[in-house]
Amino acid sequence: MRVHGLTRFHTGDVPEGRRLAAWEEHNERSLVGLRADPIGHGRFEGAEVNLTLPRLQLARVTGSPHVVGRDAARIATSPADGVVVYFALAGHGRFEHRDGSADVGPGQALVCDADQPFRRAFADGLTELVLKAPRDVLRESAGRRGLAHPLVLGCDGAGSPHGNALVRTVAAALRGSAEWDTLEAAVLDLLPAVLGGRPSDAGHLAAAHAFIAAQLADPALSAGRIAGAVGISERQLSRLFARSGESVPQAVLAARLDAARGFLRDPAHVRTSLAEIARRHGFRSPAHFSRSYRARFGTTPSAERRVPSA
């Protein structure tokens, strides 16, 4: 069925004897044509959310233990004509290709040319995000049409802000939580970084925001640290934020306050003290937290906690 432009598929909606075949057919239509085989004697279960944008295809995939592959025959009958990025969220996978093999786990991304033979095995199942970019789009955004060799990259946490920003953007698109045209443009701004190229200014700005989000708890977070993580000068970073209408310190403070507001409104944290919430979000004192919160939202943290979430 289609919900808000997203296509959803689940093997539970298919007769058991047809599940693997239906999984293969769905992926050939919506992403990349693959042969799928179960591991062990358990029945295969898989779910997929797909989003086709004007220039990109995105997916969130969950599956029980199985193996997938693309051999020369399948590539000939079902060419992908592009590069695929797999962002591992849960489960470890073994990736085998003509030049070797690699293990890929949560917090990593696998980038490969989908028209080169490969095999992927998931002994414990998987959850991953997938980004497929056609060759003409790669040429426009990254100045290349493919990859000579597969890449395995970090894409989680403060050590890889561009990759982290890309994961966040793909996930947001698949949640339907923002304008898809805007999100597609953001993905294209960040894509060169995972292909070994130089991101655009917009890509650097997105990476800076991702680094800030990953480091909110550190009260010593500074423009110099953010710039160093993104790989640009502090002056260039300040220019990028100024173009977006705020300074770097303003962006850091806004991110801390927005995150703290979400924390306060979550019933799971009702017993967490305001002092602890302030500390977790990088404020040096509860008083500074309270003053800043009132200035941004027109209310105090304690009053916010009593307001039921919408």
Residue 16 CA to residue 244 CA, distance in Å, equals 52
pLDDT of residue 10 exceeding 60, the answer is yes
Q: How far is CA 223 from CA 156, 235, 249, 251, 305, in A?
A: 20, 9, 7, 10, 31
Torsion of CA 216, 87, 101, 22, to 10 degrees: 160
Residue 88 CA to residue 110 CA, distance in Å, equals 8
Give the DSSP letter of residue 199.
P
Give the contacts of 187 (CB within 8 A, at least 6 positions apart).
56, 58, 131, 166, 169, 170, 173
Residue 193 CA, chain-centre distance (Å), reads 14
144: tokens are 């290349």
Average pLDDT value for the chain: 91
Going by C-alpha positions, the residue among 70, 77, 79, 86 that lies closest to residue 34 is: 70
> Residue 156, exposed/middle/buried by CB under 10 A (0-12, 13-18, 19+)?
middle
Confidence of residue 308 (pLDDT cuts 50, 70, 90): low
Confidence of residue 26 (pLDDT cuts 50, 70, 90): very high
Whether 20 contacts 39, CB under 8 Å: no
What pLDDT, in 10s, does the model give residues 31-51? Answer: 999 999 999 877 899 999 999
pTM for this model (two decimals): 0.81
Confidence of residue 2 (pLDDT cuts 50, 70, 90): very low
Whether 80 contacts 146, CB under 8 Å: no
Residue 186 CA to residue 236 CA, distance in Å, equals 19
Residue 283 CA to residue 220 CA, distance in Å, equals 10
Confidence of residue 235 (pLDDT cuts 50, 70, 90): very high
pLDDT above 90 as % of the chain: 72
What pLDDT, in 10s, does the model give residues 87-142? Answer: 999 999 999 999 999 999 999 999 999 999 999 999 999 999 999 999 999 888 87
- Please name each of the domains of the chain with its CATH number: 2-154 (2.60.120.10), 223-306 (1.10.10.60)
pLDDT of residue 1 exceeding 60, the answer is no
